[in-house]
Chains A and B, each alone.
Chain A
Amino acid sequence: MQHVYIDHNATTPVAPEVLETVVSCLGQVYGNASSIHHFGQGAKQKLESARRQLALLIHANPAELVFTSGGTEADNMAVLGVCGAAPRPAHVITTAIEHPAVLSPAAHLEREGVAITRLRVGASGILNPDDVRGALRPETVLVSVMHANNELGTIQPIAEIARIAREAGVVFHVDGVQALGKIPVDMEALGVDLYSMSGHKLYAPKGVGALYIRKGTRLAPISFGGHHERDRRPGTENVPGVAAFGAAAGLAARNLMADAERLANLRDRLENAVLDRIQGTGINGSRWGRTPNTSNMYFDGIDGEALVIALDLRGFAVSTGAACSSGALTPSHVLTAIGLSSERARASMRFSLGRSNTVEQVDALVSALEASVAHLRRISVHA
């Protein structure tokens, strides 16, 4: 059976060009980037060239980029780092629809006495910037808002929130993991202080990410052990991973607009066909202001987990929501935060398209959905 991958918000396949970089780097560039000699210098060059590629993609100064093990580490560095460097009492503003990589360190800080405000979003899944202004307190030290939501794809008004935070003199962190490579990301235009990124969401391998740290942002370290990455992140650098991230950033810079246009068309084709052909369906969150590849839809009367399995057996890989919380007892915190009943949240599916997906695949997915949803609704009459 052919398996079609439509779960690119969970992770992406490594792009062929990126794979070449990884393989050649793994095979040949084995020096430690901190070493003085020829081999170390070779590794260092790869590292810095990747840093320039990523800086180019997001319009930042390369010196403001720190490579990490991924998005989760970058989020932890930002949230824990800002609060670690701030005086007490401290207050943090974030949203109810953040990824656990932000919500969990925030909850950890809360247990240590930091006040946390989790702003609600309406049915659109888009935060109202005025709510940030309204939540500011004299002791607020950090605002953390994601750029694009992983489950809905909704894009938050980052530039406006950045202005509000700047006026108040509060550090602004953005979890950009689901935005990078999908929509234009420009540090100058956005005006943020910290921005988290992950390689494997844009066709680089797992295990590499980055944190943009605007010059002058005070950040306490969260791990200790070496002077790597300008004293920001200790540990011998993952040179093949970082080089791959750089190559992926280069690809994204070249293909972003064309990819976005093509994926938005595919996504709309998928949604229109589902809405047209399957009763009791609808789009979760705003139809507008989303990353072009993401669609979150409900199928009333079905169990999302059963639909994922049924589709997988038909050769289509999709998900009910965040991959990290699959099989969780409680329905998605994002879907309940935008006002869905737990029943409808459990009946919701996320489709996230990517570079390899075609019109034929989307049409076949719609047919499989039609058949699976009809089947599941037929058998669950007594449920």
Chain B
Amino acid sequence: MPEQPIAVAMSGGVDSSTVVALLVRQGRPVVGLTMQLWNQRRLPELAVEGSGAPSGSGRCCSLDDVYDARRVAEQVGIPYYVVNFERQFEEQVVKPFVAEYLAGRTPVPCTLCNNYIKFDRFLEMADAVGAHHIATGHYARIRYDETSGRYQLLRAVDDSKDQTYFLFGLTQQQLARTMFPLGEMTKQEVRQLARSMDLAVAAKGDSQEICFVPNGDYAAFLRAYLKETGVEPERTHGEIVTADGRTLGRHEGVHHFTVGQRRGLGIATGEPLYVISTDPQSQRVIVGGNDDLLRPSFFAHQVNWISIAGVSTPVRAQVKIRNKHAAAPATLHATGDPARVEVVFDEPQRAVTPGQGAVFYDGPLVLGGGWIA
């Protein structure tokens, strides 16, 4: 029986193309698959000025990206298919993303996509093509730990490219079948390798964070999506108030605000004002000074444990509360519910934002992570 192929998720970018080329160079049988997740011709009002979906603009699932992925597959001589996950993507990533914003929280769609699409539906597709393992171009490392009998997730060697913040939802079963061949490499090395292997995409730009939201303008996306689907939020406008109840102005919807935001409040005051919290029930946006943003602790729910099985006694960790956050020293306290944890920082942290992920590290090791309640 021939060796089982590895199914590689190909986005058409440098990283996943390099993964394919690396595996093929090692003599491994590979099947390339591109996930079609979002139709860029939907919501035409969001089209980038002057072009449909320009190459290198970082928008996912454009015809250009599929073209690039197909070209690389042809270059290295592997079977290649485009698989359509648009339905699942809309149900499991886009709709929750929209609902979270309307509920006054700040969601992380990439984590949902990893949990429900890239490491779930994609694994099923891998099964369908007879592949046991999948490989992606994520910057992260996976290691099997003999002592604990667990698959561990570790930060990438290239710290600036590390993507473990978005991977905290991966289960042991998913990790057991996943390969991240770029985890030990720097982005610069990846580009060099892509160039040395003469890959057609070696000079392509990096993709942006939220692939289906052009230019990161999620408010415009929300507006266009709600208009297209005919769903109008019940009430979008409300008051901007201080913690002690003074009304400072009005706003056009809580989904325009995220905790810690300073710009766009439309209020002129002497001292700088920040969004402290939003209340979708009363449609109030509560503002205050920088110090009001500091939180000593929070609860994380729907916690997924990775490198350890859970916490019973307090465990020291470094906790990252958004992608660009420098992980802060903290203690994890058990709550009786293994999927719920209290995180107590050594020093209060600025802008602990409901809806964002909280990922617990022990050095390079990802202990687990959950959602900020």
Binding site for B on A (CB under 8 A): 303, 305-307, 309-310, 312-313, 327-329, 375-376, 379-380, 383
Known A306-B125, A329-B86; 12 more pairs at CB < 8 Å: A303-B128, A305-B83, A305-B84, A310-B130, A312-B79, A312-B81, A327-B36, A329-B87, A376-B128, A379-B127, A380-B124, A380-B127
Report whether B36 and A309 are in contact in the complex, using a CB–CB cutoff of 8 Å.
Answer: no
The distance from the CB of A201 to the nearest CB of chain B, in whole angstroms, is 24
The distance from the CB of B356 to the nearest CB of chain A, in whole angstroms, is 29
Closest residue to A303 on the B side, CB-wise?
A: B128
Within 8 A of A (CB), among B71-112: 79, 81-84, 86-87
Report whether B84 and A309 are in contact in the complex, using a CB–CB cutoff of 8 Å.
Answer: no
Closest residue to B79 on the A side, CB-wise?
A: A313
Q: Which residues of A contact B130 (CB under 8 A)?
A: 310, 313, 375
Q: Which residues of A contact B128 (CB under 8 A)?
A: 303, 306-307, 309-310, 375-376, 379
The distance from the CB of A10 to the nearest CB of chain B, in whole angstroms, is 16
Q: Which residues of A contact B125 (CB under 8 A)?
A: 306, 309
A-B contact pairs, 23 of them (CB 8 A): A305-B83, A306-B83, A306-B124, A306-B125, A306-B128, A307-B128, A309-B81, A309-B125, A309-B129, A310-B129, A310-B130, A312-B79, A313-B31, A313-B79, A313-B129, A327-B82, A328-B84, A329-B39, A329-B84, A375-B127, A375-B128, A376-B128, A379-B127
The distance from the CB of A305 to the nearest CB of chain B, in whole angstroms, is 6
Binding site for A on B (CB under 8 A): 31, 36, 39, 79, 81-84, 86-87, 124-125, 127-130
Complex: A306 Cα to B129 Cα, angstroms: 8
Complex: A327 Cα to B82 Cα, angstroms: 7
- Which of the listed residues B81, B127, B128 has the most CB atoms from chain A within 10 Å of its own CB? B128
Complex: A312 Cα to B31 Cα, angstroms: 12
Closest residue to B5 on the A side, CB-wise?
A: A313
Closest residue to B90 on the A side, CB-wise?
A: A329
Q: Which residues of B contact A380 (CB under 8 A)?
A: 124, 127
Q: Is the interface of A mostly helix, strand, loop or mixed?
A: helix
Q: Which residues of B contact A383 (CB under 8 A)?
A: 124
- Which of the listed residues A306, A375, A376 has the most CB atoms from chain B within 10 Å of its own CB? A306
Q: Which residues of B contact A303 (CB under 8 A)?
A: 128
Q: Which residues of B contact A310 (CB under 8 A)?
A: 128-130
Closest residue to B127 on the A side, CB-wise?
A: A379
Complex: A309 Cα to B131 Cα, angstroms: 12
- Which of the listed residues A329, A376, A380, A383 has the most CB atoms from chain B within 10 Å of its own CB? A329
Complex: A305 Cα to B35 Cα, angstroms: 12
Report whether B124 and A309 are in contact in the complex, using a CB–CB cutoff of 8 Å.
Answer: no
Report whether A327 and B124 are in contact in the complex, using a CB–CB cutoff of 8 Å.
Answer: no
The distance from the CB of B298 to the nearest CB of chain A, in whole angstroms, is 33
Closest residue to B83 on the A side, CB-wise?
A: A305
Closest residue to A307 on the B side, CB-wise?
A: B128
Complex: A328 Cα to B127 Cα, angstroms: 22
The distance from the CB of A45 to the nearest CB of chain B, in whole angstroms, is 41
Complex: A306 Cα to B130 Cα, angstroms: 11
Complex: A305 Cα to B39 Cα, angstroms: 18
Complex: A383 Cα to B31 Cα, angstroms: 22
Report whether B124 and A379 are in contact in the complex, using a CB–CB cutoff of 8 Å.
Answer: yes
Complex: A40 Cα to B274 Cα, angstroms: 79
Report whether A327 and B127 are in contact in the complex, using a CB–CB cutoff of 8 Å.
Answer: no
Q: Which residues of A contact B124 (CB under 8 A)?
A: 306, 379-380, 383
Closest residue to B66 on the A side, CB-wise?
A: A327
Closest residue to B84 on the A side, CB-wise?
A: A327
Q: Which residues of B contact A327 (CB under 8 A)?
A: 36, 82-84
The distance from the CB of B67 to the nearest CB of chain A, in whole angstroms, is 14
The distance from the CB of B263 to the nearest CB of chain A, in whole angstroms, is 37
Q: Which residues of B contact A329 (CB under 8 A)?
A: 39, 84, 86-87
Q: Which residues of A contact B86 (CB under 8 A)?
A: 329
Complex: A118 Cα to B81 Cα, angstroms: 34
Q: Which residues of A contact B87 (CB under 8 A)?
A: 329
Closest residue to B125 on the A side, CB-wise?
A: A306
Q: Which residues of A contact B81 (CB under 8 A)?
A: 309, 312
Closest residue to A342 on the B side, CB-wise?
A: B87
The distance from the CB of A340 to the nearest CB of chain B, in whole angstroms, is 17
The distance from the CB of B5 to the nearest CB of chain A, in whole angstroms, is 8
Complex: A327 Cα to B125 Cα, angstroms: 14
Complex: A329 Cα to B31 Cα, angstroms: 23
Closest residue to A379 on the B side, CB-wise?
A: B127
The distance from the CB of A355 to the nearest CB of chain B, in whole angstroms, is 26
Complex: A305 Cα to B130 Cα, angstroms: 14
Complex: A309 Cα to B125 Cα, angstroms: 9
Complex: A196 Cα to B102 Cα, angstroms: 52
Q: Which residues of B contact A379 (CB under 8 A)?
A: 124, 127-128
Closest residue to B131 on the A side, CB-wise?
A: A313
Q: Which residues of A contact B83 (CB under 8 A)?
A: 305-306, 309, 327
Q: Which residues of A contact B129 (CB under 8 A)?
A: 306, 309-310, 313
Lowest 5 A-B CB distances belong to which pairs? Answer: A306-B128, A379-B127, A327-B84, A329-B86, A309-B81
The distance from the CB of A327 to the nearest CB of chain B, in whole angstroms, is 5
Complex: A312 Cα to B124 Cα, angstroms: 17
Complex: A312 Cα to B78 Cα, angstroms: 13
Complex: A309 Cα to B35 Cα, angstroms: 14
Q: Which residues of B contact A375 (CB under 8 A)?
A: 127-128, 130
Complex: A373 Cα to B162 Cα, angstroms: 39
Closest residue to A329 on the B side, CB-wise?
A: B86
Complex: A313 Cα to B81 Cα, angstroms: 11
Complex: A375 Cα to B125 Cα, angstroms: 12
The distance from the CB of B51 to the nearest CB of chain A, in whole angstroms, is 23
The distance from the CB of B362 to the nearest CB of chain A, in whole angstroms, is 32
The distance from the CB of B131 to the nearest CB of chain A, in whole angstroms, is 10
Complex: A383 Cα to B125 Cα, angstroms: 11
Complex: A329 Cα to B87 Cα, angstroms: 7
Complex: A183 Cα to B79 Cα, angstroms: 36
Q: Which residues of A contact B36 (CB under 8 A)?
A: 327
Complex: A76 Cα to B291 Cα, angstroms: 68
The distance from the CB of A70 to the nearest CB of chain B, in whole angstroms, is 22
The distance from the CB of B63 to the nearest CB of chain A, in whole angstroms, is 12
Q: Which residues of B contact A309 (CB under 8 A)?
A: 81, 83, 125, 128-129
The distance from the CB of A311 to the nearest CB of chain B, in whole angstroms, is 10
Complex: A309 Cα to B130 Cα, angstroms: 10
Complex: A305 Cα to B84 Cα, angstroms: 8
Complex: A376 Cα to B86 Cα, angstroms: 20
Complex: A303 Cα to B87 Cα, angstroms: 13
The distance from the CB of A142 to the nearest CB of chain B, in whole angstroms, is 30
Q: Which residues of A contact B82 (CB under 8 A)?
A: 327
Closest residue to B86 on the A side, CB-wise?
A: A329
Q: Which residues of A contact B39 (CB under 8 A)?
A: 329
Complex: A266 Cα to B81 Cα, angstroms: 29
The distance from the CB of B283 to the nearest CB of chain A, in whole angstroms, is 34
Complex: A306 Cα to B39 Cα, angstroms: 20
Q: Which residues of B contact A328 (CB under 8 A)?
A: 84
